[in-house]
Each structure stands twice: as structure tokens, then as C-alpha cells.
Amino acid sequence: MKKYKKIVRLIPLDQRRFKYLYIFSLILIFSLFGRLVKLQVFNASDLQRKARLIQSSKTYALKKRRAIVDRNNRLIAYDKPLYKLWAHPKYFNFPGDSINRVRSIEEVTEKLSSILDIHDEILLSKFSNKMSGIKLLDKISEEKAEKIKNLQISGLDLFKYSQRYYPQGELYSNLVGFVNDENKASAGLELHLDNQIKVFNKSNLIKRGGDGTPLPDNSAPGDFISDYKSLGLTIDSKLQKASFNALSKQVSKWKAKKGFAIVMDVNSGRILSLVTFPSYDPNKFWQYNSELFRGWYSQDLFEPGSTFKPINLALALEEKVIQKDGVVEDIGEINVGGWTLSNWDKKGNGYIDYPKVLQVSSNVGMVKIMQNLDPKIYWDWLKNLGINKNLKTDLFESTAGQLKRKDLFVNQSIEPAVTSFGKGFSISPLKLVQLHAALANGGFEVTPHVTSTFKERVNKNPRKQFFSDEVSKTVLEWMESVVDKGSGSGVKIEGYRIAGKTGTSQKALNGSYTSKKVCSFVATLPVNDPKYAVLVVVDEPSKSFAYGSTVAVPVAKEIIESLIVIEKIPPMIKDPGMIVKKP
């Protein structure tokens, strides 16, 4: 069978059609080229930004602060996670609804009110005809926030933040301080040790694939691990509470301006309790006068009065201008450089030994004792003790004590005379307890501190020693006689050897002394093996018969009684020549 090929006749292309096709192709090419230029040149940075948003996500660390705990890990301060609830009514949509459906504000508030325990009308009033960016509530707990999340309502946003909380209220406020509403440290340890308490978690960039899967990157191990460290204090909360109760009761009883009490380990400088009164609730700091936020125990100065007499006796013994078994005549008053100085009761005590000088708190006796010491040497000793230097601690910034210029001290005989019984110069209460700690531990300087991670500066030379061990023991025994037979007898506790010294100092104003007083008492225990120093200072008691023995001693006794129980200090029996533990 013969096959025939089909012949197709070619028709010439219409010139107009070809022209239109050519022009259309040119337009398409130029449009594509223009689009390419726009994307590659003009929109390049914006497209790169959008690509990064799709391909990566940045995690921001929550602004947090480390918890603060006592030596037994009891919470003093911690961050409580809370939430803010924002609403966008134009996006309100319930699970299962069509994409275009928008729920009413009333429908949403009905579901929220039962979770938030707030009446519908109150929630409705917050919208005020706004359709976006409405802050409904803050300080929402994690439990309630989780319930709101479970509603899965579109248009509701929960913003997580942390708020500082102080579970022990006013007990630690004068020590720990607080952070303000913006989470900024504003007082106390929170401010002074801010860099140690803040958590410096860095933000991280996570790379993702097209489907959102995280891709390998250069994140270091631990970049996404939370910081669970805490700032540990040397404070014991039980002792802190006992000290606070004893101090607040006495300050209120005597209608005093303020009071301070501290218990410190004399060998290490660890502070076991530190309280002041009046105090404040750091959870409601805005309700109080800002004057309460100061750490006056290290920032304010006072004349230590008779509590400095044991320090002066130690200086006299070190310079060998007196002997342990010496005596001094006290006729009740003495004239120095045209000034008449007298005892607190204006009475003389005759010939008395040095323990008796402390027992009766003889000013005249102290003046005569310290007149044996060259004023130049005396002043050098005071400088060596750091009277006029800042006390370096982990507490508030301290104020340097005030000491007269050396030329005045040396050339005006009244200056060393009044210094002999704790007048004419000023120090902070914290400095005073440091000096008594040195007197108790064999003469060595220690640095008061409240953080368990605190490290004293390591020097190549041995730590500074103010007094010899023999002098320290001698003065401590003399101070013990003040508790056994003198003005400190109110602190006596059967079975325990306690050394102490009372102080009652008039406050100076514009160069002259006023009727306002500072009553104080310092104690060391146990004398046979000194471990603890206790200092109580009560400022401006306003009732009659306010002395160190009547105002400060009762506080110290209550604190020491609690200290004995908490630290499990065994009782001792005094026996000539030996000390024996009770069976």
C-alpha cells in the first residue's frame, strides 16, 4: 500500500503580530530586569532582615537576680516569676473558630474573670473602646498564667517578668535593702553587691531551617542553661530574729531614735546577726521614709565613750606604761589644760586597780593612766588602729572615723585626756566591734563581713596584729570583772564567762555636748575561748536613767542567751586554776 506524505503549506507570519510579540518580550525582559535590580539593590537590606527573622530567632534572657539565703539556706530574697496580660480585641478568636470570626470582648472577659478572680465589669472597663495594646492586669501568678494559656484565645498575650520578693520582711531590710519597681538595686546589699547578685545571661541567636528546625551553630555549652547560684550570707535567721525582737522591744520601751545590734565571730569576722530598728518592709518600700534605707551602722559616726576604755588600756599595757597589778588614784575630778574633767557620777573612788577602773567606769582613772603615754605615740597607735580610715567590708560603704590632727593632739593636753575615756574622736559602730574582736582573738585585725564567699585580701605579710596575746587576755579578764562585779552585771549568765563594757556617751552638737545620749554595751564570750563579740548601740533614749547598763545590757543578754542555744555553747564552771566543762 502506497503511503502519501502530508504537505503543509507555510503561511508567512503577519508582520504586525510579530511586532507585538517582539515588543511584549522586550517589556517582559525589562520588567524582570527592573524587578531584579529593585530586589538586589534597593530592597536588599530589608530582604536580608526578613530572611534572618525566618531563618533565626534571638532568645533574650529574663532580667533576673540571684536569690539571697542565710547560712542555713533559708530564703531572704528571691525572684518571683509573674506575668502581665495584654489584650488585642480585633484578634479575639477561640479554638475551633473560623479564621475570620472575631469574638466579642464580653465573651473573652467572661472566661478570664473566673481565672483572675476579677468581676467582668472591672475587666470590661479596662478596654475603653481600644482595639489593641490594652494592659489588663499585671502580677499574675504562674498558676493563673498557665490557665490563661490553656484557653488558647487569640488576641491575648502574656509577658513574663520577675519581681523581687523578701519573705522575711523587715527582719533583713536594713542589711539586704531592696530593688525598685524597675528591678534596679536601690539600697543595702542589693545595691552594694549588685554585680554579684545580677544574673548576666547573654542573648543567643538560634539558626533555623526552612521548616523551623534548629540548625547547628556556634553556641557554647551552657549558653542556654539558667543560673541557679545564690548569694549566701553568714547570718543565722534564728539569731537575726531573736536579736531584732530584743532590740526593737528596748528601743520602743526607751522611746529611742534608733538602735543597732551585731554578733560577730571574733576569729574570722563572720557576722552572725546584724539588726537595726526602726526597720521597714522591703516589699512595700515606697511607704517608708528614705532615711530608713541607710546603713547607719557603718555610715554614721559616734563617740564610743567608755566602750573604748578597754582599747586604751591595751595600748597602755603594750607600751608598758602601766603594769598588770598597778593602781591609780581617783579623786573624782582632774584638771587638764584648764579644763575640769570628772567621773560620770562626780564621785571619787580612791586608789583602785585597773579592773576596778573598768568596773566603775572611772574617767579620772583613765586620764591618769593615759597621761603616762607620750601623746605622739598615743596618736600613732590610734592611726595604726585605723580610727580615721574607711572600713573595707562587703556591707555598705563605710565612713572613715574622725581623729584630731596630730599637731593638735600632741600640743593640746586636753585632746589625749578626753580620748582616754572615748571622747574627742568618732568611729562607726562597725569599727568599734572590729576593734573589740581584735582584743578578743589575741590582737589580730579581722574584717567584718556577711557574705559566705567573702575573701579577705591575701597579703604576702601575715595579717595585722594590734595587741599581743598576753595583753589581750589581760584586758579581757579585766572586762570580765565588769560583768561579775560592775556595770555589766545585768548580762551575767550562770555557767558562762562573759567579758563586757558599758558606755554612755553624750552627743555633741556644734562643738558642745547636749543632753542627748548614746547608750552602748560590748561583750565577748566565752572568755576562756573567745569566739563571739556582741555590740548593742541605742541612740537617743528619751527616758530618765538611760545608761548603757539600763538600756543596752538587757538587749545583749537576750541576744547572748539565744546565741548560746543556737551555737550550742557549752556551759563552763569557774574554778581556781582551771576551767572544767559540765558533765
Q: For the segment 257-272, what is each residue's pLDDT rounded down to a tens digit?
A: 999 999 999 999 999 9
> 526: cis peptide before it, omega within 30°?
yes
Cell of 122: 472591672
Q: Other C-beta atoms within 10 Å of 574: how many?
A: 14
pLDDT digit string, tens, across residues 213-269 = 455 555 554 444 455 688 999 999 999 999 999 999 999 999 999 999 999 999 999
The whole-number average pLDDT for the span 269-289 is: 95
Burial 82-94 (b: 16+ CB within 10 A, else e): bbbbbbebeebbe
pLDDT digit string, tens, across residues 360-376 = 999 999 999 999 999 99
The whole-number average pLDDT for the span 76-92 is: 88
Is residue 211's pLDDT more than 60? no
Are 107 and 156 within 8 A, CB to CB?
Answer: no
The whole-number average pLDDT for the span 83-107 is: 86
pLDDT digit string, tens, across residues 520-555 = 999 999 999 999 999 999 999 999 999 999 999 999
Domains of the chain with CATH codes: 78-199+227-232 (3.90.1310.10), 237-581 (3.40.710.10)
pLDDT of residue 558: 97
3 state DSSP class of 300 = coil
pLDDT grade for 576, boundaries at 50, 70 and 90: very low
> 216: cis peptide before it, omega within 30°?
no
Contacts of 369 (CB under 8 A, 6+ apart): 312, 313, 316, 321, 322, 328, 354, 357, 420
Single out the catalytic residue among 173, 243, 248, 306.
Answer: 306
pLDDT of residue 167: 95
Range among 91-100, 110-119, 206-215, 473-482 rated most confident: 473-482
Report the alpha-carbon distance of residue 322 to residue 369 in Å, rounded: 7
Are 325 and 351 within 8 A, CB to CB?
Answer: no
Cell of 317: 599595757
Matching residue, cell 608598758:
320
Q: What pTM did the predictor assign?
A: 0.80
In terms of Cβ atoms closer than 10 Å to its own Cβ (0-12, 13-18, 19+), residue 496 is: buried
306 is catalytic: yes
